[in-house]
Amino acid sequence: METKLRFAQQIVLKAGRWLREHMNQQVEITEKADFKDLVTNFDQSIQDQLSQDILQAYPLDAILGEESQEHISISKGCVWVLDPIDGTTNFIAQQTDFCILLAYFEQGVGQFALLYNVMADQLIWGGGEFPVFLNDWPLLGYQKGELKRSLLGLNAGLFASNAFGLARLANHCLGTRSYGSAGISFAYVLEGRLVAHASYLYPWDYAVAAILGPKLGYELLSLENGKPRFEGREYVLFLPSLLKDEITGYLDEWNYQ
Amino acid sequence: METKLRFAQQIVLKAGRWLREHMNQQVEITEKADFKDLVTNFDQSIQDQLSQDILQAYPLDAILGEESQEHISISKGCVWVLDPIDGTTNFIAQQTDFCILLAYFEQGVGQFALLYNVMADQLIWGGGEFPVFLNDWPLLGYQKGELKRSLLGLNAGLFASNAFGLARLANHCLGTRSYGSAGISFAYVLEGRLVAHASYLYPWDYAVAAILGPKLGYELLSLENGKPRFEGREYVLFLPSLLKDEITGYLDEWNYQ
């Protein structure tokens, strides 16, 4: 499995380098009005590059992503789950704060994941049988702290609607932050900058959190189904296992184990 | 004035270095429960250091800040406006994403300002008769773009309450972001990552934006009084002058010039 993980690191870093180089060139010559197309092209291009690399090295593996043509379940065989550009609105409006996300499953069991903050050149990698690193530094894992001294990753819309009681939870924290990328928000949780992050996500957005989290004392809950189903879009909450009872206690009708 | 600006750069960078060094040491040995006191101490310490430096070099100048004992108006004499740690909740919960803010006025006219993102070691400086730089790089100034392709700096509370119609404005943008520091949000506006930023702030939080903005095509409005009064807390909006009519058109009863 280590060979496969090293391979995954190489192709993700290569895709990130390509994105940084071509983005800077292209953004300069692209009219604002055409920027949406440019993003779509970059998204497709990274998806194609990574899929090609994976299928060339592992022709029997499957790839689940936004562009997947057929229905792919993570529960059977060897499946890569890919989000080529997570945080596309940041990509459009900021040209920074976006990620490449890649997770790898065998028979439904997460083997490793990679979360690459492209412009910061920060790669969080590991999970499964591997410890979790940020570039060359091992991450320490969750350090117990008080909820009321901690920040929650939550966008303004979810706070305003108080979906699932998330605004009530936010009001028991020090405040909310919104960074516009699931990957960056999960990374901040893993680094201890946010205590938890809630959002409405697809499997390719949250798969990395499901794999990286448990090695560092975190877990990913579905606010709709208890456990994420890896099918369609779901409201999910990434949080420290140690605070699970306290945090879910503030949510509406939370009755999953 | 250039001597005074160079002096200001030196003392702000020195304070930032001191903060980085002592913070790392102290944070490690401080129990979470005492962290609030630690922050208060750091806040006071940076305030003292910078005030001492300023008054030693310029004994007739005045300093306006959170800790100012007497009432100080920026409209008379030489006044420094100081926020030693902007973004204290980030300081508490993240140990990053906070700023030192320092602005300098003579007879009410902004001469220069410094906005220092301490952990990123990024200093935005200039204004008045000076161009605006990010470290050694001149900032380009506002590049016309569409509001609907741009992000607004706005916290979840202001969005949820739709104060002044800010949620309506947000809904005409690509989305909102919340970073927890006025300084960092203003910096992101000046760098073109956010189109505008609205918040409820004290003069020492917004003074730097009022001075740095006009050199780059931005201005600071008070949502309550049209122009910020530099007295007490106010709802303010930092935005590109070119989009002022469009943006204020979405707000409630905006009738200032």
pLDDT band at B125 (very low <50, low <70, confident <90, very high): very high
What pLDDT was estimated at residue B66?
80
DSSP letter, residue B230: S
pLDDT band at B31 (very low <50, low <70, confident <90, very high): low
Residues B12 and B123 in one domain: yes
Report the candidate in B115, B119, B148 with the shortest Cα–Cα distance to residue B215. B115
Q: How many domains does chain B have?
A: 2
Q: Which residue segment(s) compose the domain that A242 sits in? A: 147-249
Query: Which residues 95-134 of chain A have a CB within 8 Å of chain B?
Result: 96
Last residue of some domain: A75, A104, A138?
A138
Last residue of some domain: B94, B110, B138?
B138
Residues B102 and B223 in one domain: no
What pLDDT was estimated at residue A71?
78
A122 vs B73, which has greater pLDDT? A122
Partners of B160 on chain A (C-beta within 8 Å) are 156, 159-160, 167
Partners of B152 on chain A (C-beta within 8 Å) are none
Is A85 annotated in a binding site? The answer is: yes
Q: Specify if A254 maps to a domain.
A: no
pLDDT band at B71 (very low <50, low <70, confident <90, very high): confident
Residue A88 DSSP SS3: helix
Residues A193 and A95 in one domain: no
What pLDDT was estimated at residue A138?
97
Q: What share of chain B is helix, strand, coil (3-state, %, to 5)?
A: 40, 25, 30
Residues B116 and B134 in one domain: yes
**B137: CB partners within 8 A, 6+ apart:** none
> What tokens were used for A65?
């992503």
Average pLDDT over every residue of B26-45: 69
Helix (H) or strand (E) holding B158: helix B156-161
What pLDDT was estimated at residue B48?
94
Residues A182 and A134 in one domain: no
Q: Specify if A77 maps to a domain.
A: yes
Q: Specify if B254 maps to a domain.
A: no
What pLDDT was estimated at residue B68?
72
Q: Specify if B255 maps to a domain.
A: no
What pLDDT was estimated at residue B253?
74
Residues A151 and A134 in one domain: no
Last residue of some domain: B138, B164, B187?
B138
What pLDDT was estimated at residue A257?
59
- From B32's Cα to the closest Cα of chain A, the distance in A is 7
User: Nearest residue on chain A to B190, judged by CA atoms?
Assistant: A94
Q: Specify if B220 maps to a domain.
A: yes
Taking an 8 Å cut-off on Cβ atoms, the answer to whether B180 and A179 are in contact is no
Mean pLDDT value across chain B: 92
CATH classification of the domain holding B57: 3.30.540.10
What pLDDT was estimated at residue B55?
96
Residues A35 and A80 in one domain: yes
B185 vs A27, which has greater pLDDT? B185
What pLDDT was estimated at residue A140?
93
Token pair 């700096």 is found at: B153
**B164: CB partners within 8 A, 6+ apart:** B198, B223, B235, B251, B252, B254
What pLDDT was estimated at residue A86?
96
CA–CA separation, B134 and B123 (whole Å): 6
Q: How far is CA A200 from CA A83, A163, B173, B200, in A?
A: 15, 11, 20, 29
Residues B168 and B125 in one domain: no
Cβ count near A217 (within 10 Å) = 17
Q: How far is CA B33 from the centre of its chain?
A: 28
Q: How far is CA B221 from the centre of its chain?
A: 14
Cβ(B156)–Cβ(B163) below 8 Å: no
Q: Specify if A81 maps to a domain.
A: yes
pLDDT band at B36 (very low <50, low <70, confident <90, very high): low
Q: How far is CA B142 from the centre of its chain?
A: 18
Q: Specify if A62 maps to a domain.
A: yes
Interface test with A, best of B94, B161, B199 (most A CBs within 10 A): B94
- From A135's Cα to the closest Cα of chain B, the distance in A is 18
Partners of A188 on chain B (C-beta within 8 Å) are 94
Partners of B178 on chain A (C-beta within 8 Å) are 156, 176-178
Walk along chain A (257 residues) and give the pLDDT tens digit of each residue: 999 999 999 999 999 999 999 887 666 555 555 666 777 788 889 999 999 999 999 999 999 988 776 778 899 999 999 999 999 999 988 999 999 999 999 999 999 999 999 999 999 999 999 999 999 999 999 998 899 989 999 999 999 999 999 999 999 999 999 999 999 999 999 999 999 999 999 999 999 999 999 999 999 999 998 999 998 899 999 999 999 999 999 999 776 75
Residues A132 and A19 in one domain: yes
